[in-house]
Amino acid sequence: MRLDTRSGRVTLNGEPVKLTAQEYKLLSYLLHHKGKVVSRTELIEHIYDQDFDRDSNTIEVFVTRIRKKLGPDVITTIRGLGYSLDEPAASRG
């Protein structure tokens, strides 16, 4: 998977992947914090204005959509803590 911040494009194995603006923001944020656990609250604060309903399940919806587009192993759920993005096993050296 490759994310080009200049063009705002995501590719998987060289093929373009269409993401919504919020999906892109979430994926980009996780990539910039690769290997670290990012809380749901932190993601909401990054994606939305301060008055957004923090009890909403939109982060879970976005994570599910991204997994459908990029593969189930791209984002790891750390139960009770948040989400983590690691390099896919196939591309690890």
CB of 70 within 8 A of CB of 64? no
- Give how far Cα 27 sits from Cα of 49, 68, 93, Å: 18, 13, 22
Q: Domain range spanning residue 83?
A: 2-91
Structural domains of the chain, count: 1
pTM: 0.83
Residue 15's identity, in one-letter code, is E
Residue 49's identity, in one-letter code, is D
CATH code for position 85: 1.10.10.10
pLDDT in tens, 6-26: 888 899 999 999 999 999 999
pLDDT in tens, 52-88: 666 678 899 999 999 999 999 999 999 999 999 976 5
